[in-house]
């Protein structure tokens, strides 16, 4: 079909972070000097707007495509590309933090989206852990634990291993701890409220800002903290649905040389990130070679994605609204 749109290959944006390392080079990225914690692989956020690497839209940003060629995302609503996909290398612990929901962010953060996110664990220490959830039952309980510096009484530690998955809803206190690499799928938001940052100092000697009042506003004190991130959903023809919420569905796709995968793409768009191995993806518009660290957007109307090789991908899309 001659008018079938091709896949959109993006150039990742890399960010220096106080807690970052150098392991993102394992994904084929050229790292800037210093500790690098984040690769924004699929992003139209103003803090890291990915550029199209090749094809008819080469040199345009993803936000430009959203506004100037919205036919590529036909059926997707909103005034901005809604999702953001990152790879994170936590050489050191991230701050203990929490994110707001849409309503709080819109009111207090200049119209920003909230930040519902999820983590697929790519690698972790043999005794790796993360913080997901906290034990305070009220704002007053939380404030007292903070005042008394009783972080270990507050935080909910969960053991992790590669292949685990966590749904981090707005209002969930969390922290990725050192020695962990994850792929994060989230709403396109960069609003973070730091609760604790270990008293560590930045290069200029200053402490990073904390946001305790905002954090206590948005924490969900009634939330049940998880005890494991083990994936129990079935794998069907290489595809596992990791989660579904109002903002995104997330899939893990495993492709083997003797078991290629046909991935339907009936959505306004689908994000694809290769987290392991290499192979190819073919549509009616052509064939693209894929390798670990590649990030692509499959636009509306591109048809089924025929995946071959030996690789694992994390894919995401915005669910269709009923009615």
| CA separation for the pair 34, 19 (Å, rounded) | 11
Residue 194 designated active-site? yes
DSSP letter at 66 equals H
Query: Would you state the structure tokens that stand for residue 139, as one six-digit string?
Result: 């704002």
| CA separation for the pair 305, 323 (Å, rounded) | 27
DSSP states along 221-277: TTPPPPS-----SPEETTEEEEEE-SS-EEEEEEEBTTB-EEE---SSEEEEEEEEE
Instruction: Give the burial class of 107: count Cβ atoms within 10 A of its Cβ; 0-12 exposed, 13-18 middle, 19 or more buried.
Output: exposed
Q: Which residue has the tokens 């690698």?
A: 123
Rg, the chain, Cα only: 20
Catalytic residue among 22, 23, 135, 194: 194
End-to-end Cα spacing for the chain: 31
User: What is the helix (H) or strand (E) element at residue 139, kind and residue range?
Assistant: helix 139-147
| CA separation for the pair 134, 174 (Å, rounded) | 8
The partner residues of 157 in beta bridges, in order of sequence, read 131
Active site residues: 194
């Amino acid at each position: 079909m001659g008018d079938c749109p091709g896949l959109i290959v993006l150039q990742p944006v890399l960010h220096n972070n106080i807690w970052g390392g150098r392991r993102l080079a394992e994904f084929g990225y050229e790292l800037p000097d210093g500790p690098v914690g984040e690769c924004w692989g699929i992003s139209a956020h103003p803090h890291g707007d990915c550029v199209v690497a090749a094809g008819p839209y080469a040199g345009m940003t993803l936000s430009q495509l959203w506004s100037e060629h919205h036919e590529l995302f036909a059926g997707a609503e909103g005034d901005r590309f809604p999702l953001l996909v990152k790879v994170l290398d936590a050489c050191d612990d991230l701050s203990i933090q929490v994110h707001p929901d849409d309503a709080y962010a819109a009111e207090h953060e200049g119209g920003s989206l909230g930040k519902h996110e999820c983590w697929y664990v790519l690698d972790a220490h043999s005794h790796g852990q993360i913080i997901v959830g906290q034990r305070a039952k009220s704002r007053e309980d939380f404030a007292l634990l903070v005042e008394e510096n009783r972080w270990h009484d507050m935080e909910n530690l969960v053991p992790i291993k590669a292949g685990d998955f966590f749904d981090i809803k707005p209002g969930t206190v969390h922290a990725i701890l050192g020695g962990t690499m994850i792929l994060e799928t989230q709403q396109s938001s960069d609003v973070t409220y730091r609760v604790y940052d270990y008293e560590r100092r930045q290069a200029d000697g200053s402490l990073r800002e904390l946001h305790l009042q905002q954090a206590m506003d948005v924490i969900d004190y009634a939330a049940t903290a998880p005890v494991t991130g083990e994936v129990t959903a079935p794998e069907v023809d290489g595809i596992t649905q990791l989660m579904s919420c109002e903002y995104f569905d997330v899939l893990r796709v495993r492709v083997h040389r003797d078991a290629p995968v046909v991935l339907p793409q009936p959505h306004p768009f689908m994000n694809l990130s290769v987290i392991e191995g290499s192979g190819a993806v073919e549509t009616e518009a052509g064939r693209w070679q894929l390798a670990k660290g590649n990030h692509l957007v499959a636009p509306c109307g591109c048809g089924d994605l025929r995946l071959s090789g030996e690789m694992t991908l994390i894919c995401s899309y915005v669910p269709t609204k009923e009615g």
